[in-house]
């Protein structure tokens, strides 16, 4: 899987976290593992320009998605095995996201992870223009985000347990560690 990320926003953002959540969504949504994705983080003025140019709406927004290949999650059962594709571009505005995070009462990193999932779902053909579409997309968005957080928590717990085990085994003389 190839994901390129370019931070042109002027804000310090955890690019690794954004890459991790994007990879998670790609895996969960059965997108070919060799798919390509581009993520660009921009400032408010750049996002406002894109928003007017592509959506004919004034002012900046939080996330915009520009799909490249027509994709369907999981593909069709009667279709030949899908190959790699170019998903498209996700454009995030960290400053706009930071303002939204303050209003929502959660960290900016959470808002950016949520917007990454949202943008990925748009690239995969989901929309929220109609109430039924909105219910489906936001339900899936919340589910994917919760599952990603659970995976992150599990990995952190496993790392803590592994470190504890190495320390205990080192003290017992079973493993050479710098601490023993």
Provide the annotated binding site for Zn(2+): 118, 122, 128
Radius of gyration of the chain (CA): 20
Residues pairing with 92 in the sheet: 41, 63
Measured distance CA(25)–CA(20) in Å, rounded: 9
- Nearest Cα residue to 59 out of 68, 69, 67, 49: 49
50 and 89 Cβ atoms separated by less than 8 Å:
no
Nearest CA to 119 among 137, 95, 96, 132?
137
Binding-site annotation, residues: 118, 122, 128
Torsion of CA 59, 123, 132, 111, to 10 degrees: -60
Residue identified by tokens 């990995």 is: 155
Count of C-beta atoms within a 10 Å radius of residue 71: 21
């Amino acid at each position: 899987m190839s994901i390129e990320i370019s931070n042109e926003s002027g804000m310090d953002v955890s690019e690794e976290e954004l890459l991790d959540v994007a990879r998670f969504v790609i895996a969960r949504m059965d997108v070919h593992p060799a798919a390509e994705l581009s993520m660009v983080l921009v400032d408010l003025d750049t996002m406002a320009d894109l928003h007017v140019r592509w959506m004919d709406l004034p002012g900046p927004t939080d996330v915009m998605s520009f799909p490249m290949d027509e994709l369907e999650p999981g593909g069709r059962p009667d279709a030949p095995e899908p190959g790699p594709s170019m998903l498209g571009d996700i454009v995030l505005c960290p400053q706009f996201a930071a303002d939204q995070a303050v209003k929502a009462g959660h960290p900016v990193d959470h808002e950016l992870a949520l917007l990454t999932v949202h943008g990925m779902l748009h690239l995969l053909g989901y929309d929220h223009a109609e109430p039924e579409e909105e219910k489906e997309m936001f339900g899936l968005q919340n589910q994917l985000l919760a599952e990603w957080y659970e995976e992150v928590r599990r990995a952190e717990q496993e790392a803590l347990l592994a470190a504890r085990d190495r320390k205990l085994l080192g003290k017992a003389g079973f493993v050479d560690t710098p601490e023993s």
